[in-house]
């Protein structure tokens, strides 16, 4: 659409700029004001809705959404002002944010990757596939995707706790900070928010993300359909595959589907009438395309996907609720390490200390293992949480999240609890909010390994880079946390 003026109910003028994406019921544009986005409801032909009666129906709907009691501080962009003469509205959109759709290789990004840019570790791969993997690495790899999905699942969890259904989860409706050091996630295009159950609610979804029971018109969008759509989004982001588009579906043609009242193979797949690609007792729709599950999924994630797309395909009550996803995704993200050569991420405990993509040794890194503690002996072989991270540079700091020191608690689990800085002489630990975290440290010294309280910060000697150190967190559920540091072989000289 060419740039033009749009006037809202407060007589403010907005000029549309780049298109941010399209969902199940319209299109969203950024405006010339980078903090404002514009949503236009479109008809079946993609034209803005201008019919007076239709505009009035949407106006009432958008006004109802504005009045919903959303949880305080939740990152959902609501309509801030309605448009005059059109079904649509403007909403606040933070600058420097990108839609989840940027995780997929688009035409513009593909054109920017020249054949000579493809690295040696992808030499034997077809050029198109190599470009997809390069883009996967360039957009943060596995760790970035897992973290973004965990934050998205947390926002959805807060909506569901409040009794609200989001309704149209898709890559164009979820936004992420473009700054690699930040993982803030926002949901936009929220005009389908409503309570569950709501007998007046209609079903709006983006093609490929609708739950089987909604596609079959046996139910409306509700909590469980949000869970299906989110799981499709997560599976596609992590593996390159849609969970139902296997070789059987992609290998069909019009002649195979002619006369089938339930539609094409793709339509039947989206409607849950064909097994998912990793169905346990039916391999008819398997595929070798995309990234293998063993490279990008942990066992808890495999279990969640299988229950969602396996049993949950035909028995929607078996589908895991959204509350299972934030912790499973955050735990998976913490178990990965980013390769310093190819920038892909992998699971250290699962695949070892060499990158499974380019065979480069793991970079200097911190390995953190968390154990619940009841005052007795600790089984160091069975941590309840594991965290890997590349070591910070001398001028930088490593932010250690609260989930390492306290049981995972949704949004709070993503907050920084402790920062770590290091140079050749020492390591400094600093509690971000000393009053909210009871923290102790122990490391080998002339007095042995006795825990001492950290009131604000503590400076550890450089020797702990060889020996490691321990932290303990108090509170209702005490924890003991081991810190091991792996340096390059010549780092000690």
Question: Each residue of 251-270: pLDDT tens digit?
Answer: 876 656 655 666 899 999 99
Q: Average pLDDT of 9-13?
A: 96
Question: Each residue of 361-411: pLDDT tens digit?
Answer: 999 999 999 999 888 888 888 999 999 999 998 879 999 999 999 999 888
Question: Each residue of 427-475: pLDDT tens digit?
Answer: 999 999 988 899 999 987 655 567 889 989 999 998 898 899 999 998 8
What is the SS3 assignment for 316-340? HHHCCCHHHHHHHHHHHHHCEEECC
Question: Each residue of 190-244: pLDDT tens digit?
Answer: 888 999 876 666 678 899 999 999 999 998 889 999 999 999 999 999 999 999 9
The rounded mean pLDDT for the chain is 91
Structural domain 5-93, CATH architecture: 2-Layer Sandwich (3.30)
pLDDT of residue 132: 96
CA dist., res. 339 & res. 359, Å (int): 9
Question: Each residue of 128-161: pLDDT tens digit?
Answer: 999 999 999 999 999 999 999 999 999 999 999 9
**Helix, strand and coil percent figures for the chain, each rounded to 5:** 30, 25, 45
CA dist., res. 313 & res. 344, Å (int): 32
The first and second tokens of residue 90, run together, are 């403007």
What is the per-residue burial (b if ≥16 Cβ within 10 Å, else e) of 44-80?
Answer: eeeebbeeeeebeebbebbeebeebebeeebbbbbbe
CATH number of 364-486: 2.60.200
Q: Average pLDDT of 479-487?
A: 93
Question: Each residue of 28-51: pLDDT tens digit?
Answer: 999 999 889 999 999 988 899 999
Please give the share of the chain, as a percent, with pLDDT higher than 90: 73
pLDDT of residue 435: 86
Which class for 201: exposed (0-12), middle (13-18), buried (19 or more C-beta within 10 A)? middle
Q: Average pLDDT of 76-84?
A: 95
Q: Helices marked H in 299-417 — which ranges?
A: 299-306, 312-314, 325-334, 348-351
pLDDT of 425 strictly over 50: yes
- The full set of domain ranges for the chain reads 5-93, 98-240+290-330, 364-486
Fold of 98-240+290-330: Transferase(Phosphotransferase); domain 1 (1.10.510)
pTM over 0.85: yes
pLDDT of residue 254: 60
pLDDT of 22 strictly over 80: no
pLDDT of 490 strictly over 60: no
Higher pLDDT, 377 or 118: 118
Please give the share of the chain, as a percent, with pLDDT higher than 70: 94
Contact 420, 431 (CB under 8 A): no
DSSP string, 89-119: EEEE--SSEEEGGGGS--HHHHHHS-GGGS-
Radius of gyration of the chain (CA): 25
pLDDT of residue 158: 97
CA dist., res. 343 & res. 136, Å (int): 9
Question: Each residue of 93-107: pLDDT tens digit?
Answer: 877 899 999 999 999
Q: Sorting pLDDT into bands at 50, 70 and 90, what band is 492?
A: very low
């Amino acid at each position: 659409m060419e740039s033009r003026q749009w006037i809202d109910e407060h007589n403010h003028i907005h000029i549309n700029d780049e298109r941010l994406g399209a969902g199940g019921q319209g299109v969203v544009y950024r405006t010339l004001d980078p903090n404002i986005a514009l949503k236009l409801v479109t008809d079946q032909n993609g034209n803005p809705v201008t019919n007076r009666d239709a505009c009035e129906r949407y106006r009432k709907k958008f006004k109802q959404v504005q009045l919903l009691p959303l949880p305080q501080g939740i990152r959902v962009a609501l309509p801030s002002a309605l448009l005059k003469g059109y079904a649509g509205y403007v909403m606040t959109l933070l600058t420097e944010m990108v839609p989840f759709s940027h995780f997929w290789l688009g035409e513009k990004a593909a054109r920017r990757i020249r054949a000579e840019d493809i690295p040696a570790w992808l030499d034997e791969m077809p050029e198109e596939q190599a470009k997809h993997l390069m883009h996967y690495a360039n957009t943060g790899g596995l760790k970035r995707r897992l973290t973004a999905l965990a934050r998205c699942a947390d926002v959805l969890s807060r909506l569901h706790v409040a009794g609200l259904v989001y309704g149209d989860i898709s890559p164009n409706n979820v936004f992420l900070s473009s700054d690699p050091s930040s993982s803030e996630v926002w949901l936009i295009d929220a005009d389908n928010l409503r309570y569950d159950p709501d007998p007046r609610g209609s079903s709006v979804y983006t093609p490929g993300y609708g739950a089987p029971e909604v596609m079959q018109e046996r139910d409306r969008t509700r909590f469980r359909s949000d869970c299906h759509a989110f799981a499709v989004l997560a599976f596609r982001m992590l593996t390159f595959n849609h969970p139902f588009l296997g070789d059987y579906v992609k290998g069909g043609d019009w002649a195979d589907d002619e006369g089938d009242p339930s539609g094409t193979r793709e339509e039947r797949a989206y409607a849950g009438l064909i097994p998912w690609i990793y169905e346990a007792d039916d391999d008819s729709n398997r595929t070798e395309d995309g990234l293998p599950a063993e490279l990008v999924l942990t066992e808890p994630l495999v279990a969640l996907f299988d229950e969602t797309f396996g049993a949950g395909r035909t028995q929607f009550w078996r589908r895991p609720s959204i509350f299972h996803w934030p912790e499973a995704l955050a735990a998976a993200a913490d178990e990965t390490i980013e390769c310093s050569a190819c920038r892909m991420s992998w699971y250290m405990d699962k695949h070892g200390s060499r990158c499974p993509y380019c065979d480069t040794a793991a970079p200097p890194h911190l390995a953190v293992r968390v154990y619940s503690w009841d005052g007795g002996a600790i089984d160091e072989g069975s941590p309840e949480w594991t965290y890997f991270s590349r070591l910070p540079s001398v001028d930088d700091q490593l932010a250690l999240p609260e989930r390492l020191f306290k049981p995972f608690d949704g949004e709070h689990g993503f907050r920084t609890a402790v920062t770590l800085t290091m140079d050749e002489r020492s390591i400094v630990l600093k509690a971000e909010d000393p009053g909210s975290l009871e923290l102790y440290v122990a490391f080998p010294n002339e007095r042995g390994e006795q825990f001492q309280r950290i009131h604000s910060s503590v400076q550890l000697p450089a020797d702990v880079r060889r020996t490691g150190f321990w932290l303990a967190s108090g509170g209702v559920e005490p924890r003991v946390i081991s810190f091991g540091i792996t340096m390059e072989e010549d780092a000690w000289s």
